[in-house]
Structures are given as structure tokens and as C-alpha cells.
Structure 1
Amino acid sequence: MNDLRNADQLRTNELFIARHGFWKPEFELTDGQFVYAKLSYRSNFKRDAIIELPQNSWTIKRKGWFNRTLLLNRGEDEPVGNLVPEIWKRDFNLLFDTGFEATYLCKKLFSKSITLTNSQLGDILHITQKPFAVKQPFTVTIALLKTPENMPPLPLLIMIGLHVIMLRQKQAAAH
């Protein structure tokens, strides 16, 4: 985790996500020069996601085998929030214990992008999937210039959104 750069030193609002590996891929949030966060999975079944930031690591686990709620933990077992999918929509609600709430929305029906929105702040960021791109399959546009105090770090929110996209792709492939 020593090679990761702090998000406070971010100077652009256009980032991309680079993919490394084919069978067990790792994803890096980068601006082309520095890496701000990493997303990897414990196994090929992609059940538990590990997000690495410069300060600490986070894990996303399922609450149970037949439960749709995902638990967000700092480290391995310090719960800090939940990620709850909507029942009749393609949206995911993100709820932190600090009181921060946001929703990952798919605004258009056939769109390859996801938007993180908050009721007070509006749109925070957009993650767009580029067609036929293997090494850099996602671009990220940060719409929020100044972050409030109770908001989690932006790289964490971006990597949670990437995990949501990967879950939706896995569910679409299963059907």
C-alpha cells in the first residue's frame, strides 16, 4: 500500500480505471501518473472485494448466502456501512454509519454508466464503461469539487461503484 497516493493531492477531475490480469483481475484508480486506490478479489468467484487506499483497506462482503445486502468493513471485521440493492430497480443504496447516504443510479436504460448521487450534494461522480477497452475499461468524472466532512474518501466511493458494476455484469452473465 506504500505506492498509493492520497486523494487530497488529486489535481484533476478526470480519472480512469486500469485493469491488470485476465483470470483474476485487479483494478487501479489512476490519473495516468499516480495510483489512488486498488480493487481486487479474494477468489475467482468474486464474493469478497478488497479495496486498498493509502490509509487503510476496506472489504465488501455479502451479509449472508441468501441476503442481498453487502457489508462494508474497514479492515476485515469493523463494520462501517451497508450497500443495499433496490428490489425492482438497478440502483444500489450506500449507507454509512457516519450518516452519509448516497445512491448509485443507472440513469438511462441501455447506458454503460453509473452515477453516485446524494440528496444534499447532487451528483458526486460518474463511472462510464468504454466499449472494447481491455486495459482501461472505465473512465471516472468527479462532479463534486469540494467534499464535506462526513463524506468518505472519493477513491473509496469510486471503487465501491466499480464493484457495483462488476456485480451487475456478473448477474447479467448468469441470466
Structure 2
Amino acid sequence: MDQFRNFDQLRVPELIVLRHGFLRPWYELTDGQFSYGKLTYIGALKRTCTLETAGGNWIVKRKSWLGRKFIIEQPDGMEIGLITPQVWCRKVNMSMNNGLTATFYNKKILSHNYTWVSEQLGDILKVQTKFWSWKKPFIVKTDLDMVKKIPELPLLALLGINLVLLKQAEAAAVS
């Protein structure tokens, strides 16, 4: 965790996501100079991923083999949150044990901007997908005031990237 910069030291409202590798890619959240986090998939089916930041590490995995729900765990196995995709809707709900609840969705139907929205705090951060960009597939935009309000902001940024990647994989499997 020493290799990542703390989100409290973030000075730019826009972070880029770099894709590294071809067959087993991993994704790095960076501002171009410093690295803020890393997303790595475990296994060939991409059912489990690890999220690493300076603030901690998390494991995101499906609750059951055929289930749609995801569990957010710490490396010691303690469950800290649950992600539930809504049925017949494009929204994904997240609830953490510390009381934070947020919804991840794209506000416009044909938009490629996904937003984490909380009822208490409003828009938290946006994940923008880029067309035809293999090396830099995403941009994460946030308000710098949210860094002080939400300590789980690095988790939400990497989790949003993971959810968009899963949506893209499901869309590719259907077509």
C-alpha cells in the first residue's frame, strides 16, 4: 500500500484509468503523476476482484454462483458492504455497514457517463467511458469537497470501474 498516494492529497478533479496488460489486464487509477489505486481480477471468469488503495484493500466477489449480488470484503474476510443490481433497471444499489448508501447508474439512457448518487450527499463521482481508447478506457471525475466528506471515495471510484467493466462484459456476451 506504500505505492499509492492517499486520496486526501488529491489536487485535480479528474483522474484517468490506465489499462495494463492484454490477456490478464489490471487497471490503475492515476492523475498522470501519482497512482491512487489498482483494480485486479482474480481467476479467468472475473468473478472476484481486488481493489487496492492507500486507505485499504477490498475484495469484491459474487455472493453466490448464479446470484446477482456482490459482497465487499476486507482481506481478513469481514463483510463490509453489499452491492445489489436492481431487476429490469440499470441502477445498482450499494449499502455499506457504516451507513453509506449510494446508487450507481447512467442518468441518460444513451449516455456513457455513470454516476454514484447518494440521497444524503447528491452526486458523488462520475465514471466516463471513452470510445476507442484501449490504453485509457475511463475517466473518473469528482468534486474535491467530496474527498473530505466521504472516506470511501477511492473504494467507490474503483468499484464504479468494476461495475462498468462487468456491464461491458455482459453486453459483449449477449451480442
- TM-score band by shorter chain is over 0.9
CA 1:143/1:55 → structure 2, altered by over 3 Å: closer, same or farther? Answer: closer
Aligned residues: 174
SS of residue paired to 1:38? strand
Tell me by how many angstroms 1:53 deviates: 1.1
In structure 2, the partner of 1:142 is 142
- TM-score scaled by length of structure 2: 0.94
Do 1:24 and 1:43's aligned partners in 2 also have CA atoms closer than 8 Å?
no
In structure 2, the partner of 1:164 is 163
Distance 1:76 1:174 in 2: 33
Alignment of 1:54-133 (within 5 A): 54-133=54-133
Tell me by how many angstroms 1:68 deviates: 0.9
Tell me by how many angstroms 1:144 deviates: 5.5
Q: Aligned-residue CA RMSD in angstroms?
A: 1.4
Tell me by how many angstroms 1:148 deviates: 6.0
CA 1:31/1:58 → structure 2, altered by over 3 Å: closer, same or farther? Answer: same
Describe the superposition over 1:69-104 as per-residue Cα deviations: whole angstroms up to 9, x where unpaired.
100001151100001001011111010001100000
Distance 1:147 1:56 in 2: 15
Do 1:29 and 1:155's aligned partners in 2 also have CA atoms closer than 8 Å?
no
Do 2:5 and 2:35's aligned partners in 1 also have CA atoms closer than 8 Å?
yes
* Percent identity of paired positions between Structure 1 and Structure 2: 40
Are 1:46 and 2:46 matched, yes or no? yes
